[in-house]
Structure 1
Amino acid sequence: MLQKEAEEIAHWKYNGIYSFYDMTADEEDYQEFINEEARGKRAFSVYEGEQLIGFYSIIPVESETVDLGLGLRPDMTGQGIGGPFLQKALEYAQIHYGARSFTLSVATFNERAIRVYENAGFKVVQTFMQPTNGSEYEFVKMRKA
């Protein structure tokens, strides 16, 4: 991910309850995302043609397992493209990281994303509280083997 792409993504604004995912909603997350050194080589920009449409974060956690983070441009959410977007991330991780299993975490209120992940074969393996955005929120950890 190029620095200019990170800065653009970091200022995307989501509507309604999904504003929770605005990078600027949590100063620590924001600083980590826009700092090239902190971001490292784990964040990838996703394009459709010439348009930046999202990003993937891929972090190896154990042999053949990666932890995924996904972000779709706000105006593209809720349009039924989350499944194909996720599938491309899985394929990328398989090819470039040798991943055979995947984990990810998502806020429990984000039922829309949870459905996408379940439809792709992810299962909830843990519920936990995560401090972020100035409070604590319930998340689920999901795994696909």
Structure 2
Amino acid sequence: MKDCVIADITPEDAVRVIQWKYESPYDFYNIKSQAEAMQEFLINAYYSVRHGDQLIGIFCIGPSAQVPEGRAAGIYRESYVDVGIGMAPSYTGQGNGKDFFRIIVSYLKKQFPDAGVRLSVATFNTRAIRLYENTGFKSVATFPAKDADFIVMTHPTIMTT
């Protein structure tokens, strides 16, 4: 996954992401409303991660990375860079997560050199939780949402390892 390029998400990439289908239990991340997702992707801070002509994944920063129920509960009051990530289903479960996350972290470090980072992850997503813990993230809160419970994890500064 070296030599990946990060760019603003394109309409073509958004269409591809909308078509991604994950197997259970990760089917929670399958997009249900195509029109709503397309609008979300193209209006807000979403980025594509590409390797050549392959779309490896996407990520978002800011309010789009926050879970609405967590926002309503006041979970996101402290100042952090919120990030949400999604890897193409064909790349998941194969040990690609660490490199994919490093690419995103490297980008965030350049954009926000002194900022802490925060992410929210569904509690059942043990693969992602393990990845985040192994890169220094700590659980700081949990909250229930409509379809799943979430863990909020933070890192005081964006790391480069």
Q: Normalised by the size of structure 1, how large is the TM-score?
A: 0.84
| Shift in CA distance, 58/88, structure 1 to aligned 2, threshold 3 Å | same
Considering Cα pairs closer than 8 Å and 6+ residues apart, tell me whether 1 or 2 has the greater RCO: 2
CA drift at 1:14: 0.5
2:145 alignment partner, SS class = strand
Deviation at 1:76, TM superposition (A): 0.5
Please report the RMSD computed on the Cα atoms of aligned residues, expressed in angstroms. 2.1
Alignment map for 1:4-23 (pairs within 5 Å)? 4-23=12-31
1:42, 1:59 within 8 Å by CA — same for their partners in 2?
yes
Question: Per residue, is there more strand in 1 or in 2?
Answer: 1
Pair 1:143-2:154 in alignment: yes
Match 2:95 to one of 61, 80, 95: 80
Please state whether the residue corresponding to 2:103 is helix, strand or coil: helix
Deviation string 1:101-121 (CA, Å, 9 cap, x unpaired) is 100001100101100110111
Other structure's SS at 1:23 match: coil
CA distance in 2, matches of 1:10, 1:32: 10
> 2:26 & 2:122 partners in 1: Cα distance?
10
Corresponding residue for residue 116 of structure 1: 131
Partner letter of residue 119 of structure 2? L
TM-score normalised by structure 2 residue count: 0.76
The match for 1:107 is 122
- Could you tell me which runs of 5 or more consecutive residues in structure 1 were left unpaired when the two chains were aligned: none
Question: 1:122 & 1:50 partners in 2: Cα distance?
Answer: 31
Equivalent-residue separation in structure 2 for 1:7 and 1:59 (angstroms) = 22
Alignment match, 2:61: 58
Tell me which amino acid in the other structure corresponds to 1:58.
I
Question: CA shift at 1:144, angstroms?
Answer: 0.8
Q: 5 Å matches for 1:120-131?
A: 120-131=135-146
